[in-house]
Every structure is written in structure tokens, then in C-alpha cells.
Structure 1
Amino acid sequence: MIINNNIPALNTYRQLGINQNAMQASMEKLSSGLRINKAGDDAAGLAISEKMRGQIRGLDQASRNAQDGISMIQTAEGALNETHSILQRMRELAVQSANDTNTPEDRAELQKEVDQLSEEISRIGKTTEFNTQNLLDGSLDNKFQIGANEGQNLSLSIEDMRGFSLGMAGDAQFEAEGTYTAGSGSESIVDGEYTVQENEEGTYELINSDGDVAATSTDALTFTGDDSETLVFTDTVTSGKVTVDTGGTSVGNATVDNNGLEAGTYEIDKTNAVLKDSNGNTIAKDDGSGVYTNSAGDTVIDLSNSYSDLADGDSVEIGGTDISSQEAADAAITKINDAIETVSAERSKLGATQNRLEHTFNNLDTSSENLSAAESRVRDVDMAKAMMEMTKSNILSQASQSMLAQANQQPQSVLQLLQ
């Protein structure tokens, strides 16, 4: 018999520690619901599980991204729906104006509505936004991240859907000065109000208040009367009203090519050498000669011929597509048809992309669900099995404690030999 080392007690104590550790591990799993709570539980399983978790969270975020993309597309497509409605109304007005039962005054009233509608198309294109991003001004060129990994994205760009790009912004008009020079006899150009209109031959006529042709022009700059008298303008006057002052300065509505301005009213600011819109925003800069360029350096309007006659505060009017005559209205029908087809093509592209994103969204959710199930099999604990193991460990631990008490009693038998 020995008493310095109680081998049965040491053995029982070791087993007790093992059982308690096993019971603690089972309790940790049951309380967390996870089979792997630390790398020591399953090093390889932990690495696999974390990769799966990264994929799952990436798929879930990609699903939200797809939904955000759908919302953006719906915003743009909804705005284009209204643009379509405006274009249909403009086409209706063009068909109406192309009928010669209308007088010039009737067409002028129709033109006013076309001008306002064109301005609204531009406003919609300029102000339609999603999360502060402009959608319809041609600047949108986005990528939707629709996957959990690098490069898994979808590109979307939207063309410029404003009035000028659709061909619905007309030429620029402003007040131009004219100089009268008398002819050799009884002039047909006298003081008074006139109207300029284009005839079927492509030339221009100066019509007096009686409806008679007082002068004609081939270039809309120089109008020549019956007795060789002339009225020469600084810029082309192709339509609108003309006030003739044979003893002073005549005025008319000059027309110059519009190379990039949307429908609306613009103010000339010679002091700061800029062109401003109705809200006071700088649209273009003057190079010093009356040639105005935008931020990209493109010329949007050239007023160099009349620049010396223009002053601070003078305005430039940009109307809608021209329907002021039978010929112009007839041509406008085709132009508006082209604009409708352009908007239709863009809406079709957006609709196709939206349908694709809806399928993408469904696929991402399915992939996330299946991958979550796989990750669960690696990481999550089988609660029934863990409870069974904890019960076993608990019973063994209690048995070990009992046996340890018994083992500690064995050295006392030595006392019997000392009696």
C-alpha cells in the first residue's frame, strides 16, 4: 500500500476533467447553436464556412442592388412615359398646323403650345434624378453590381432624352436690326408692321398688313421691294413680325441655327461674357465675338453677326420644332415621328433591362438560400446530438465525482495496519 501517490484518484480526476470539458463544449454548442464556435472546433470547417458566409452576404447585397437598379429604371421609364405623351400631343399639333384652313395667326398660337411642350421635354430630361444622379441628360453610364464577386455587374446607359437631342428644339430667335435704303420710285416698303413667311420655292416674303407681298428675299437677310428699295438685316429673319422704320432702325425677329440649346429663354450677359438661362444659370461662355460655347467647348450658338447690336439683358428665344407654316408643319410630323421612335427604343431597352434584373433578383435569392443551407450543414450544430452528448458527459462527470470520492477513501485503509 502507498499513500504518497493515489493512482486511482489521479486516474479518476483525469477522467473527471475530460468529462467536464466535454460537457462544457456541448453546453457552448447548445447555447450558440453552432457546431464551430472557434477555429479549434474544426479548422477546415471554419475556413469553408467563412468563405460561404462571404458569398451569402455578397449575394444578399447583390439582390438589394438589383432591386435598387429596378427602382432607378422605373424612375427613368416613368419620366419617358410622360415624354411620349408630350410628343404625341406635339404630333397632333403639327398635323393640325399642316392644314391650310389655318391662318398665320392660328399657326402662331399652335406654335406657342409646341414651344412650351418642347421646353417641358427638356425640363423632364434635365431634372429627372435618382439618388441625385441625372437619368435622362445623357450623362448616365452606370454599372449594377449584381453578383457577389468582382466583375459580376451589368452596364446601363441612357441616351440624352432632352428636347434638342430629340430634334424638338427649334432655331434661336432674337431681335435683329434692319437698315432701309430707298429705291428709284414708288416704294412698296413703307413704315409699318409686316410679317415674314417662307414660300414654297424656299424664298422669303415680306407681307404687309393688307396681305400683299411688299418685298422678297432669297437669304432672309436682304429684302428687295418692287422699286429696288431694300431692307437689310444683321441676321436672317425667316419668320415672325417685322417693324419697318424707313427713317431709322427697323427691327425683326432674327433666326440663327441652334446647335445645342434647349427650348427656353436665355439672357445675354455681355459684362460677364456668358449666356444665362431663365434661372440665372450659366449655360455657355462668349469667346468675345458672340460665339457661345458650352462646358465641353462645343459651339451652341453663333451671334457674331449681330453681336455689336446686342446689349446686356437682351434675350434669345428657343422655341420648339417649327410648325409656323404648312411646309414646316408637314416636315415636323416626320421629325416628331423620329423622336417618338427614339424614345420608344430607349424605353424598350430600359424595359428589357428591368426584366433581366427581376430574373437576376430571383436567381440571387435562390442562390443565397441554397448556399445558406450548405453553410448551415458545416457550421450549425445538430441540437439533438449535442444534447445527447451533453447528457452523456454530465452523467460521466457525476460518476467520476463519485468515484473520485471513493478513491480518496482508499488510503485510509492504511490506518488499519497502524492499530
Structure 2
Amino acid sequence: MGLRINQNIAAQNAYRSLSVSDNQMSKSLEKLSSGFRINRAADDAAGLAISEGLRSQVGGLKVAVRNAQDGVSVVQTAEGALNEVHSILQRMRDLGVQAGNDSNNDEARANIATEVSSLNDELKRIGNSTNFNGTNLLDGTAGAAGDGKMKFQVGADGDANSQIEVDLSSANVKDIADSLSAKTVFAAADLPAMGNIMTFTDGTNNASVTFAAAPADVPATVAALNLDADFTANFVAAEDADGNLEITSRTGKEVTGGTAAVPDDTFGNTNVAAGDVTYSGMHFRNADRAQDAITALDGKISQVSTARAQLGAYQNRLEHTINNANVAVENLSASESRIRDTDMAQEMMSFTRSQILTQAGTAMLSQANQSQQGVLSLLR
């Protein structure tokens, strides 16, 4: 073989092999220190794309689990309040049954009406105050649309299958309380007969309102009555869905009305045609009214029972969703780990091999560099 000094092929060969071994050892060190088999796209382009997709699903599912847990908390908050609503309605019904007995005198019936009215006020308070993170749950305004329907993102994807809608509209305690409030409705046709001086009483409180002339229609009557301080101290006027005059006593008692010209100031309905006065909600003036109240309360108790059953079903569904999402997180994390994580034992073998090759290559490069020193002996 010729002795050449411009090109040391043996040294170049040793250097090339040493560079490869050193590069492999560096990659092994990176994988062993990070715990990841894929640290950059060049390590495994396809594997990186798959693992990033799995990471998105795992991260989304973990947040979805927290969302579902919030949903369970919302349902539990609403159902807990409805438990007390049930207790209040049952007490109201007991009072209604008591009022259905004619052994009660007017004073006893008035006391029953007072307690029922107070309980109904508590229903209104519960309906207006029960909330979760500032969102009212039992007044029919929950949800982005204000229709009592709340949506919970319980999946990692952006489709309808990743959401659960919780309908709280049937648990509208505010409407329940409003519908149970004692209301007396005077037919619009009777307004002229009531004249320009109207009087109302709930048996305890009286109000007399004088108009410059007989009101032209129900809206004008409602506006005038609600502007009178004597009237609004104990009563509220409104127009019902059928366009009639609706009077509610703030004490929750039955209201009667008529003109100031009623003989002996009895505040009776003497100037109103028979059958043109209707009552809704809870009245206890007599046994028949009490039975109507019992029937109304039975309907509301059934409504709340249905709402609570529905909330219980929602809670069970959300809890199953949480369990399913947690299993999915576990399995997807395992899949991502198989693709992206380093097999430490296997990588340690590769590192040891690369380390030995690097050490051997360094030694051989030194030997290759020394091999050309023989040329100097020819030049002496």
C-alpha cells in the first residue's frame, strides 16, 4: 500500500464512524433524560402526529370530567333546594286539609291563610335566590338562552355528542309560588258596573280608590290602582292572560271588591254579576275554596316530584359520564405512552452500545492518526 499524507483514509473512516456513534449516543441521552422516545418530529413524524392527537383528547377529557363534576354540583344544588320546596308544599297541603273543615271560624281560616302566605313567600325567596356561581337555577332563567336549560361540555370534541343538556325549566319554583298566590279575577265586562270608586278587602285590609271617571279598560284600571298608595300597601293589580282585572292581596288572602256605595260598607261583590268573579291559587274562606287549594297543591307537589326525579336521572347520567371519561383518559394515556414514551431498558442498551462504539471509535481514530507517522522515518 502506498504511503500518503494528504488523505488519511483510515482516519476519515474512523472519524465518520465515531460521529455516527456519538450522534446515536446523544440521542439516547436525550431520550433517557426526557423519558420521551419522540422529542422532535424527526424522531418519528407519524408517531408525533398521532400522539399529539391523543394528547388533545386526553387533555380535553380531563377538563370534561371537571365540567361534568360541576354539572353534578349544579344538579345537587337544585335538588337540595327542591327537597325543602317539597317540605313547604306538604305543609301547605296539610293546612289546606285543615281549612277544609267547617269547624274553623273566620279567624282560624285567616290564620291558616297567613301561614300559607308566609310559606309561599319563602317559596318565592327560594326560587329567586337558589344559584350556582351566580346563575339562578329555580326561577326559569338558567342557561345562555334564559329558558332554564343548561349545557355541560362533557366530551373532548366540538359536536353535540360531547354535550349534555340539563333542563331545569320544570323546577321553576318562582312560577310555582306565583301560581299558588291567592288571586281574585274580576271580568273586564264588570268594570263599568264597579263605577268610579272601587273598594277591595282581604278580610283584614281595605282599600278604596276613587277615579275621575269609570276606567275605560283593564290596562287603565291596573295603572290607576297601582299608583294609589292606599291600594298598593296591601294589594297588587294586574291584567291576566284573558284581559281581566286580577287582584292579589299581599297577605295571600282572598280578595273581594265592589263599589263604595255597597250598603253597610260590606265590600261585597254585590255589583258584580254572578259567575264573573273567579279565584285561583290558594283561598281558604270556606271548605270549597280549601278543597280547590288542596287540588292545586297536589299538582305542584307532583310537578316538583317529577322535577326531582329528572334531576336525579341527570345526576346519575353525569356520574356515568365521569366514569366513562376517566376510563377513556386512562386508555388514551396508555396509547399515547406506547407511542411517545421511552422504553428505558431498551434505550439503555442502545446507549451502552453507542457509548462503547464511541470509546472504541475515539481509540481507533487515535491509532489511525498515528499510522501516518511512519512516513517521517522515510524523510530522515
- Mapped contact 2:124–2:173 kept (Cα < 8 A): yes
Alignment correspondent of 2:222: 303
- Mapped contact 2:234–2:251 kept (Cα < 8 A): no
- Mapped contact 2:11–2:369 kept (Cα < 8 A): yes
Aligned with 2:151: secondary structure? strand
- Mapped contact 1:172–1:319 kept (Cα < 8 A): no
Unaligned 5+ residue runs, structure 2? 143-148, 210-215, 236-248, 253-281
Sequence identity, in percent? 47
Confirm whether residue 121 of structure 1 aligns to residue 123 of structure 2: yes
- Mapped contact 2:89–2:297 kept (Cα < 8 A): yes
What's the offset of the Cα at 1:30? 0.3
Confirm whether residue 240 of structure 1 aligns to residue 203 of structure 2: yes
What's the offset of the Cα at 1:341? 0.3
What's the offset of the Cα at 1:21? 0.5
- Structure 2 counterpart of 1:348, one-letter code: A
- Structure 2 counterpart of 1:318, one-letter code: R
What's the offset of the Cα at 1:114? 0.2
Task: Give the distance between the partners of 1:331 and 1:104, measured in 2 at CA.
Answer: 18
Alignment RMSD (CA, Å)? 2.8
Unaligned 5+ residue runs, structure 1? 174-218, 223-230, 243-250, 255-287, 293-301
Q: Deviations over 1:148-178 (max 9, x none)?
A: 10121111121252354353212279xxxxx
Q: Write the mapping of 1:199-210 to structure 2, written as runs, cut at 5 A.
A: none
Task: Give the distance between the partners of 2:224 and 2:369, measured in 1 at CA.
Answer: 117
Task: Give the distance between the partners of 2:195 and 2:204, measured in 1 at CA.
Answer: 15
Task: Give the distance between the partners of 1:353 and 1:148, measured in 2 at CA.
Answer: 20
Task: Give the distance between the partners of 1:102 and 1:350, measured in 2 at CA.
Answer: 40
What's the offset of the Cα at 1:57? 0.6
Q: Deviations over 1:387-419 (max 9, x none)?
A: 100000000000001001100111111122223
Q: Deviations over 1:330-352 (max 9, x none)?
A: 11111100010010111111110
2:42 to 40, 43, 47: 40
Task: Give the distance between the partners of 2:218 and 2:287, measured in 1 at CA.
Answer: 33
Alignment correspondent of 1:66: 68
Task: Give the distance between the partners of 1:241 and 1:396, measured in 2 at CA.
Answer: 105
- Structure 1 counterpart of 2:311, one-letter code: L
- Mapped contact 1:234–1:305 kept (Cα < 8 A): no
Length-normalised TM-score, structure 2: 0.77
Larger helix fraction of residues: 2
Higher relative contact order (CA 8 A, sep 6+): 2
Task: Give the distance between the partners of 2:55 and 2:337, measured in 1 at CA.
Answer: 10
- Mapped contact 2:208–2:231 kept (Cα < 8 A): no
**Against the structure 1 CA distance between its residues 109 and 311, is the aligned structure 2 distance closer, same or farther, given a 3 Å change threshold?**
closer
Q: Which shifted more, 73-82 or 147-156?
A: 147-156
Length-normalised TM-score, structure 1: 0.70
Alignment correspondent of 1:103: 105
Query: Which 4+ residue blocks in structure 1 deviate beyond 6 angstroms?
Result: 219-222
What's the offset of the Cα at 1:116? 0.4
Alignment correspondent of 1:186: none
Confirm whether residue 332 of structure 1 aligns to residue 281 of structure 2: no
What's the offset of the Cα at 1:234? 4.0
2:354 to 389, 393, 409: 393
Q: How many residues align?
A: 316
What's the offset of the Cα at 1:318? 3.1
- Mapped contact 1:123–1:162 kept (Cα < 8 A): no
